[in-house]
Structure 1
Amino acid sequence: MKGGVRWAVLVAVLALLLPPVAGTASAADRPTVRLSASQAGTGGSVTVSGSGWRPRALLMLLVCGQAVPTTGVRGGTDSCANAEGRAVTTDAEGRFRRKLPVAEPPVPCPCVVHVATATGPRAEVDAVLQVAGHAVEPLPAEPLGGRLSVFMDTRLDGSDGLLTWFGAPPRRTLVLIVGNVGTSSVRDPVFQVGTSYGVFAPQWEEQRWRGTLRPGAKARVELPVELAAGAQGAYTVSLRYGGRVLAEQPWDVGRPWGVTLFWSLAAVVVPAAVFRAGMAVVDRVRPRRTARRRPRMRLPGRLRLPGLRPAARARHSSRPASSLPWFTPDRDPGAPPADSPPRPATPTRKGPP
């Protein structure tokens, strides 16, 4: 009895000390999706709930065709009813709940509700949904032969230049390691590179990579990516081959501040230039006022002093003019000074005594 108690205590201590079994915690942390109904008709709706997602993550909910939860959606979002999709943000614990309208996808069923992250690390889960009244066809068989797969994380090489700061198209190079996991060689594969803004569907563009990949071989693939002029915000670059999306890479494009600076200066310079041009036109159009000319003062024979009145002018003109204008009558050179004493009077002698 005592031995059994000891073993029980030992097992309990080991259960507390040992870490949990590998795969249990990861299975509990995996994103999950549940539907309120497994079948619904067009025009109806189902409630989609999930848990185990990244906290505060933006998710996109779509009804897609030609899909199986184990293999994913054939053709990507082109096989989904994108117009009736819904977006939802998870809470702090990674859970969400959202009502999704049921619409017929552009391809036949089997159909699923596709839930995937719109930003950040890629994560997606599919839940089977039967769309009543929609056609059901078997999945097309995958072509035999070469099959490409991505072996390393993709990245975008390159940086913005001065012209991009003024609104030129941003350019990057999508770099990834691709391997051939099929049974035959792949020669000059044609990839589809798509760029999408936010939660919108990507716009695909075909690009051919020159080279041959033998079974089991790997190669470095570099594909140019270019956005529209003046692009800004959160973009996603996707790579698709053979109807399957091989990789996705987020791309945060900065704001072209040069364009903002240009329009700010234009808002100040253009009105000032228009104002100056308008004032120049007004100066040319309006009539000129003729300035009044003051009568010129003519000097007649006699000097007229404009500051004197007529009476003073007459008194001034009645003075006798001297032959030497710089002498005045009271300043005769032969006259004694005005402040000298008078000479004594001497008697006049009439003759000799």
Structure 2
Amino acid sequence: MRPAAARPRTALAALLTALALALLPAAPAHPAPAAGDPTVAVSQAQAPKGGELTVSGAGWKAGALLMVLLCGQGTPEKGVVGGTNSCANTDGRAATVDARGAFSVKLPVAAPPRPCPCVVHVSGVTGTQDVVDAGFTVAGHPTAPLPDATGDGRLAVLTAARLEGSGGVLTWFGAPPSRTLVLTVGNLGGAPVRDPVFLVGTARGVLAPGDEERQWRGTIKPGQKARIELDVELSAGAHGDYRVSVSYGGKLLAEQPWTVGRPWGVVLFWALLALVVPAALFRAGMVLVDRAGGRNRDPVPVAVPADADGPGTTAALPWFLPDSAPTENSPTTKGHS
């Protein structure tokens, strides 16, 4: 039997242990996975038509909406030849990525409109631009060699274009305004589009746009989409309402308005210059006039008659003597009387 003195110590130790466990931070139930490229896995590599398989993935952007399709004429390396026209679109499923970047969805096994090799095609609808294909075989479905990716790639705008960026202090003083035109395009054709060259035009009012070539580096496979960023720049001092357009293959893809503020720094500079220059010229002219007037104001020497009565007295001029000064009524003296 345990001594009575040991019971309080045991109870105190148990209380301290429980308190320490309560203060420890709880470990997360689902640790966040390491960041990496998105992946897709299928529960089985082969299934007959009418069956069902589980498609799961990891490394996707949390909250993104995905579209999961079963497609023919595709491989994980080359993608889907012919785009989504090779997929069983009516039997596709949507999936939402959870907070851990993972998803899981049941996909019915349907016969795609094109022969195998087949893939499970997972593409982002919102929140991500990634596309991943996982190999799969539809048992009993025709198989044919993968056709060459011939034909033309057709790009179409999937999201509205927008201008990103803002002007700085230099733009306020007349530097060329610049923005980045951002849009998402998808390849609806049967061939990949490599390093496409877009025509970016800027126009003001009813004037025709001035087009400049902008090349985007990358490859857009059939059925895939990509985020396109193109630089747009106007001339120095430009201001007013402009239209920014982007074209590809002779087809207008998008058009976006752009209002550019007036460079008030330039206006302020010329206003200050119009005040400072006349004031400086006026001041310089006054200095010149002052210097010229100073030379003309030198004292002129005046002749003083000699001192006849001695030092300290000034002799008066005879024609200014008060007694001899002629008046209007005084007669003129001619000779002696």
Please say whether Structure 1 and Structure 2 have the same fold, judged by a TM-score greater than 0.5. Answer: no
TM-score, with length taken from structure 1: 0.42
Larger radius of gyration: 1
